[in-house]
Amino acid sequence: MPATSEIERVFRAEYGRAVAVLVRVCGDIDTAEEAVQDAFAAALERWPQTGVPPSPAGWIITTARNRAVDRFRRESSRDARQAAAVALLEWDEPGDGSLEEESVRDDQLRMIFTCCHPALAPNVQVALTLRLLGGLTTAEIARAFLVPEATMAQRLVRAKGKIRDARIPYRVPETHELPQRLRSVLAVVYLVFNEGYAASAGDRLIRDDLCAEAIRLGRLLHELMPDEPEVMGLLALMLLIESRRSARTTADGAMVRLAEQDRTSWDRALVAEGQALVRRCLAIGRPGPYQLQAAVNAVHADAARAEQTDWRQILTLYDLHLSIAPSPVVALHRAVAVAEVDGPATALGIVDGLDLESHHMYHAIRADLLRRLGRDADAASAYDAAIARSGNAAERAFLDGRRRALDTK
Amino acid sequence: MTRYLISIYQPDGPPPPPEVLEPVMREIAQIRQELDTAGQWVFGDGLHPPSTATVVRATGDDVLLTDGPFVEGKEHVGGFMIIDAPDLDDALQWGLRYARATRLPIEVRPFQGKSTT
């Protein structure tokens, strides 16, 4: 007899797939979500007696379809609803093609591109993706992003209203528009990951969950678009960062710098998977920002000790990154590699030329360079500037510790 | 088909000189021609400057007229088009054509009613 937890697991795993199929069939997100929720409610009643069916996803989708037909029949006062009910009735039964893996995959792709449509604000894209693809509840998403549940609920209602009323299409973009549209999809997934990774505040468990969810979405994208190098790059980047999770903080939650982490506690399986993906995507020969960031992390993962880090290779990767996607933030991170290869003075010259005053990392990196150059008073005020601009308690504590260390020298 | 309003937001002040304006107007006429051919054109025109606008308010039995546009600002709707499009992506493509032609921000917004086509 399946426990409720087993049904919850199926829910998390299959909710997105079921909703994606039902949206195509019903033509409306709310109707699709209601139908899928009805189907899971039915599963909670039936599965404890009958056991989990051999294809839980198929059972959920068929049941949801039937519930949607019932709903249409009950509510059909208008011709449009009648027509929709007929369309649902005529929908072929599973087994003759409608539930083939490929068609479900296409529906999930449609869903991803609809949720991440550039006509929706980035925070709305994130919320919709977590709700409709990840199956997170509105309450969970609200907790993760530290907004009241009512605010998040309203954000989702408004977004679904815009999709419906402005007619954001439920389709995969054409080849010529794919690169641009894919960028916003990847940005959403990486935003989810970073939200989980930054752990600036809020419920720790939910934040770990966000990282896991982002990686799950990354795997899904990779499965749906196996030949896209930036999709591989993003997945690799997340896996390599995730591999350092346990080494990244002490038992009491304090931040540990990459150079000081216990590298034996890095998750070797994740490292191996990430590095294999980095090799595969770079071999395609269409480097992009995610691939290059993943490659930098792969180089770090190669070094058994911090002193063995191949900074020249990292610098080469940042040079390439700057040439294909120039940005002051990339130049700032490149300066860290310059400091290792050419010394802190050269790096400081580069950093001082960047217009990143409002960025806490700019001040933190500058502070470290000044410290290494023995300019303690300048370093102290740079740490102060970094602390004032950081929104993350663990990071502030870390920077404060570095600043104090200056005084005790 | 869904019906969309495409509004052009234009900075207040004198219009650009003819040598700038003329190619823009030619391109706008060209886009209209293409919308017509595609059966998507409904209506559209440019507006006189916001200084020609009058706001009407009814409070009880009183009528209050005020000179000038309702929204104060440095930019106002300078003209608009109404088109039919199969979905937002198509409407946005037309919006992009207008944005490229005018170099001005364009707002695309759906109507509540459905088009007849």
Reply yes or no on whether the pLDDT at A346 is more than 90.
yes
In chain A, % of residues over pLDDT 90: 61
A4-55 pLDDT, tens digit per residue, is 777 787 887 788 889 999 998 888 899 999 999 999 999 999 998 998 898 8
pLDDT at A81: 58
Torsion of CA B84, B88, B92, B93, to 10 degrees: -80
- Count of alpha carbons within 13 Å of B77, Cβ hemisphere only? 16
Q: Closest Cα of chain B to A178: distance in Å?
A: 13
Distance from CA of A165 to the nearest CA of B (A): 7
d(Cα A336, Cα A333) in Å, to the nearest integer? Answer: 5
Q: Which residues pair with A255 in a beta bridge?
A: A249
**Helical segments of B14-109, H only:** 18-37, 88-102
Closest alpha carbon to A18 in A39, A2, A44, A3: A39
pTM for the full predicted model: 0.83
Q: CA–CA separation, A288 vs A145, rounded Å?
A: 28
d(CA A264, CA A259) in angstroms, rounded, equals 13
pLDDT score of A127 more than 60: yes
ipTM confidence score: 0.89
Asked if the Cβ–Cβ distance from A167 to B92 is below 8 Å, we say no
Interface of B with A (CB under 8 A): 2, 85-89, 92, 108-110, 112
Strand B75-85 vs strand B2-11: parallel, antiparallel, or unpaired?
antiparallel
DSSP annotation of A357: T
Give the pLDDT score at B116: 58
Q: What is the 3-state secondary structure (H, E, C) of A39-104?
A: HHHHHHHHHHHHCCCCCHHHHHHHHHHHHHHHHHHHHCCCHHHHHHHHHHHHCCCCCCCCCCHHHH
Interchain pair B110, A119: CB under 8 A? no
- Mean per-residue pLDDT, A237-248: 94
> Which pLDDT band holds residue A407 (cuts at 50, 70, 90)?
confident
Of A390-404, B34-48, B96-110, the poorest mean pLDDT is in A390-404
CA dihedral A322, A326, A327, A328 (to 10 degrees): 60
Task: Give the pLDDT score at A97.
Answer: 44
* Percent with pLDDT over 90 in chain B: 86
The pLDDT confidence band at residue A96, using thresholds 50, 70 and 90, is very low
Q: What is the 8-class DSSP label of residue B83?
A: E
Strand-pairing partners, residue B45, are B80
Q: Do A104 and A18 form a contact (C-beta atoms < 8 A)? A: no
What's residue A90's pLDDT?
Answer: 59
Q: In the numeric block, which tokens belong to residue B90?
A: 């198509």
Judge contact between A278 and A298, C-beta under 8 A.
yes
Q: Is the pLDDT of residue A206 over 70?
A: no
| pLDDT reading at A379 higher than 50 | yes
What's residue A22's pLDDT? 93
Beta bridge partners of A29: none
User: Is 90 exceeded by the pLDDT of residue A68?
Assistant: no
| Contact criterion met (CB below 8 Å) for A32 and A68 | yes
- pLDDT of B26 > 70? The answer is yes
For residue A79, pLDDT over 70 is answered with no
C-alpha–C-alpha distance, residues B41 and B37, integer Å: 8
A83: pLDDT confidence band, cut at 50, 70 and 90? low
Q: Which of B87, B93, B115 to mutate to test the interface with A (most CBs of A within 10 A)?
A: B87
Structure tokens at A345: 């003075």
pLDDT at A89: 58
- What percent of chain A has a predicted confidence (pLDDT) above 70? 90
Give yes or no for residue A95 having a pLDDT over 50.
no
Predicted confidence at residue A178, as pLDDT, reads 87
> Which residues of chain A approach chain B closer than 8 Å at the C-beta?
117, 119, 165-169
Interval A262-315: pLDDT, tens: 999 999 999 999 999 999 999 999 999 999 999 999 999 999 999 999 999 999
For testing contact with chain B, the best of A116, A167, A180, A181 (most B CBs within 10 A): A167
What was the pLDDT predicted at A205? 63
Confidence of residue A250 (pLDDT cuts 50, 70, 90): confident
Please identify which residue in the block is written with the tokens 């710098």.
Answer: A257
Q: Is B88 exposed, middle or buried (0-12, 13-18, 19+ CB in 10 A)?
A: buried
Q: Which residues of B touch A169 (CB under 8 A)?
A: 86-89
pLDDT at position A165 over 90: yes
A167 contact residues in B (CB cutoff 8 A):
2, 85-88, 110
Q: Is the pLDDT confidence value at A92 over 70?
A: no
The number of angstroms, rounded, from the C-alpha of A18 to the middle of its chain's C-alpha atoms is 21
Give contacts of B87 with chain A, Cβ < 8 Å.
167-169
Q: What is the model's pLDDT at position A340? A: 96
Whether B109 and A119 lie within 8 Å, measured CB to CB: no
Using the CB atoms, write b or e for A361-385: b if 16+ within 10 Å: bbbbbbbbbbbebeeeebbbebbeb
The pLDDT of residue A365 is above 50: yes
**What's the pLDDT band for A104 if we cut at 50, 70, 90?**
confident
Please check the confidence at residue A86 and state whether its pLDDT lies above 60: no
CB pairs under 8 A between A and B: 23
Q: On the CB side of A260, how many CA atoms lie within 13 Å of its CA?
A: 8
**Residue contact A169–B87, C-beta within 8 A:** yes
pLDDT of residue B117: 56
Q: What is the DSSP string of A148-192?
A: -HHHHHHHHHHHHHHHHHTT---SPPPGGGHHHHHHHHHHHHHHH
| 3-class state of residue B59 by DSSP | strand
User: What does the block give as tokens for A382?
Assistant: 């740079």
Instruction: State how far the alpha carbon of A269 is from the alpha carbons of A114, A197, A240, A243, A369, in Å.
Output: 33, 19, 10, 8, 34
Q: A167 and B88 in contact by Cβ < 8 A? A: yes
Residues in B closer than 8 angstroms to A164, CB to CB, are: none
Strand order in the sheet with B106-114: B41-46, B75-85, B2-11, B106-114
By DSSP bridging, strand B2-11 and strand B106-114 are antiparallel
Task: State both tokens at A340.
Answer: 């290792």
* Residue-level pLDDT at A137: 87
